[in-house]
Amino acid sequence: MRTRTTTRRGLTAVAALSLAAVALVACSPEDEGTDGEGSGDESSAYQDLLDGGIVADDATVEANEWASGVREAGVLTVGGTETSELFSLLDPTTGVARGFDAALSQLLSRYILGEVNTDLQQVTVDTREDLLETGAVDTVIATYSITPERAERVAFAGPYYSSQSGILVPIDSDITGLDDLDGATVATQAASTGVTVLEEFAPGATILELPDHAQALAAVQQGNADAYVIDQSLLLNAVVTNDDVQIVGEPFGPGDNYGIGLPKDSDAQEFVNEWLQQVIDDGTWAELWQITIGDRADIDTAPEPPVIGSVEGS
């Protein structure tokens, strides 16, 4: 498997009971010292999943201009991240990202190329559309919420994952739910759906917009914010690896549906949707969720994947 990372400047929602279990697991002594790459068994299962990924026949690829371009280049250039514990985390010793999103990009490259070969370009919420529009990346797979506004600039395959908003607080916080955010300083990621969710559901909060997940988490840990509101999926990353924070309250807000970002004026969407449906139908999606999220968070049952094309903008 060849994967190169280049730095570029510039869950059906998990039930509240499961989230509580995650928080308890994350804070238990048994989890202390757990590394981001998981156990050897998990690594082996992850690799086996990639090795068993479906491969498109030549006629399928040749009939699609976008996929043909990827095959001609010999690599799938992916806009993603290397800091998301459960979705895409870079292993500095191998230079390879692992996680739910990372695996989807790797499986998609295998489908097109016959082997896993991705070039991971780091993106932020401010750069994703620009990179797709300029052709700097072939696709963006980065917990990328589908919205009508974004769909005016890019195409979305999927959704491939659904979540809702959650609240992350210090382990000793008095905040227990949404009502307690009134008067609190609440961090979220700038230009993310977290901003609009807070404006609607916690109008009494002071919103602290920060560039990325790591900085928002740090704001809570360092006492610069009382809470952090964003998709539950991102908060799961935090509680799995940090024993000083927890998720509180019930999930809230509209469903946040992640899509695979693609160039707007291309035939990529239909191609990727057909591949994604196969991945769902053959059980790969559920197996991938269990390996990358369920096993790490002590959740035994994978959620139902969302229905492709069911969200405005997809």
User: Per residue in 182-201, pLDDT tens?
Assistant: 999 999 999 888 999 999 99
Q: Are residues 215 and 145 in the same domain?
A: no
In a domain, 142, yes or no: yes
pLDDT in tens, 200-252: 999 999 999 999 989 999 999 999 999 999 988 889 888 888 999 999 998 89
C-alpha count within 13 angstroms, C-beta hemisphere, residue 104: 35
For the chain, what percent of residues have pLDDT higher than 70? 87
196 with 280, same domain: the answer is: no
Does a structural domain hold residue 303? no
Whether residue 81 sits in one domain with residue 190: no
Is pLDDT at 23 greater than 50 in this prediction?
no
Contacts of residue 43, Cβ cutoff 8 Å, sequence gap at least 6? 37, 98
Specify if 194 maps to a domain: yes
Residues 6 and 49 grouped into a single domain: yes
Domain span at 265:
2-162+256-297
| CATH code of the domain covering residue 120 | 3.40.190.10
Q: What is the structure's pLDDT at 1?
A: 54
- The band of 4, judged by pLDDT with boundaries at 50, 70 and 90, is very low
Q: What is the pLDDT of residue 89?
A: 94
Is 84 in the same domain as 148?
Answer: yes
Residue 103 lies in a domain: yes
- Which of 239, 255, 271 delimits the end of a domain? 255
Q: Same domain for 150 and 192?
A: no
Amino acid 111: pLDDT:
99
77 and 134 in a single domain? The answer is yes
Confidence label for 83 from pLDDT (cuts 50, 70 and 90): confident
Q: Which range is least confidently modeled, 36-40, 54-58, 114-118, 217-221?
A: 36-40
Given this model, what pLDDT does residue 223 score? Answer: 98
Mean pLDDT value of segment 114-133: 96
What pLDDT score was predicted for residue 66? 99
- Residue 144 domain-assigned? yes
Q: Is residue 23 domain-resident? A: yes
Q: What percent of the chain has pLDDT over 90?
A: 73
**Domain check: are 210 and 101 in the same one?**
no
What integer best gives the mean pLDDT of the chain? 88
Each residue's pLDDT tens digit, 256-314: 899 999 999 999 999 999 999 999 999 999 999 999 998 987 778 888 999 999 999 99
Same domain? For 130 and 6 the reply is: yes
Mean pLDDT value across residues 3-10: 36
Say whether both 274 and 241 belong to one domain: no
Provide the pLDDT for residue 256. 85
| Any domain includes 312 | no
82 and 46 together in one domain: yes
Averaged pLDDT, 66-90: 96
Does any domain span residue 311?
Answer: no
Number of folded domains that form the chain: 2
Say yes or no: 261 and 250 in one domain.
no
